[in-house]
Amino acid sequence: MHEPPDRPRLRPVEAVLFDFHGTLAQVEDSVRWVTRSAEACGVTLDRGRATVLADRLLTAGRAGGPPPHRVPPPLAEVWADRDLYPEAHRAAYTGLAATVDSGVTGLADALYERLLVPDGWLPYADTAATLRTLHTAGVPVAVVSNVGFDIRPHFAAWGLADLVDAWALSFEVGRCKPDPAIFLRACGMLRADPERTLMVGDTPADAGAVRAGCATLVLPAADAGRANGLAAVLDLATGGPET
């Protein structure tokens, strides 16, 4: 009788890298995004108008949303550089929003400003518990994000900043995922061996960490405020979920 083949051994995880958007947090509901932005411009939108406008803006391209169906040629350069330079990030997304005739003066800038405040985002329901459990277990954590603005104030506002040991943000590092250099930089910040590091994200760009030698866990993005399946990280990094 043949014995079953040995199962492949899982590499021990001694550090964890997390993507930001779609993994630890999600942008606010699109109708709320438009409504709050219009209010900042002194305009109150009824839900019907806000819904129609939100759909048009999502099609044009929202930061934290699906990629635009088309990038107008005048925005091509800033679009390509959006995650490397804060000014390009702002110009790209305000430029896309400005292609939609909203009838609200200043709306494109107000929409962008919602990105820069913690109120414009929601951490997933299991983010705090996951980060806290890793911190308690002594597993160092870094956030690795393609982003054109500083997200540290968001984590501070959510009471999570002390649970993150390092930040590898593309506009600071000068490299974007899936370039292995950004993952290697994050591992260096944590003084972690990439072969014993787990990258957790929600896109093929996050899976690019395998080229840096990291193991990778890709979870589907969930709706804002809901659980995102992050307990799987605890199984891999600490031997079990939070108790």
Checking if the pLDDT of 134 tops 90, the result is: yes
Q: At what angle do helices 86-98 and 107-115 cross, to 10 degrees?
A: 130
Q: Report if residue 158 sits inside a domain.
A: yes
Range of weakest confidence among 13-22, 42-51, 116-125, 215-224: 215-224
* Structural domain boundaries enclosing 85: 28-119
pLDDT at 10: 56
**140 lies in the same domain as 93:** no
**129 lies in the same domain as 233:** yes
Q: How confident is the model at residue 6 (pLDDT cuts 50, 70, 90)?
A: low
**130 lies in the same domain as 215:** yes
**32 lies in the same domain as 49:** yes
> 3-class SS at 23?
coil
**85 lies in the same domain as 134:** no
pTM of the model: 0.90
pLDDT at 5: 52
Q: How many domains does the chain have?
A: 2
Domain termination site, one of 73, 104, 119: 119
pLDDT at 239: 63
Q: Read off the CATH number of the domain in which 152 is found.
A: 3.40.50.1000
**pLDDT above 70: percentage of residues in the chain:** 93
**115 lies in the same domain as 152:** no
Checking if the pLDDT of 233 tops 50, the result is: yes
Distance between CA 105 and CA 91 in Å, rounded?
A: 17
**137 lies in the same domain as 232:** yes
Checking if the pLDDT of 8 tops 50, the result is: no
> 3-class SS at 148?
coil
Q: What are φ and ψ of residue 204, in 5° steps?
A: -60, -30
Residue 1's contacts (CB-CB under 8 Å, 6 or more residues apart) are none
**20 lies in the same domain as 138:** yes
CB-CB neighbours of 48 under 10 Å: 9
For 159, 190, 196, 209, 241, the CA distances from 162, given in Å and listed in that order, are: 8, 14, 23, 24, 21
Give the chain's mean pLDDT.
92
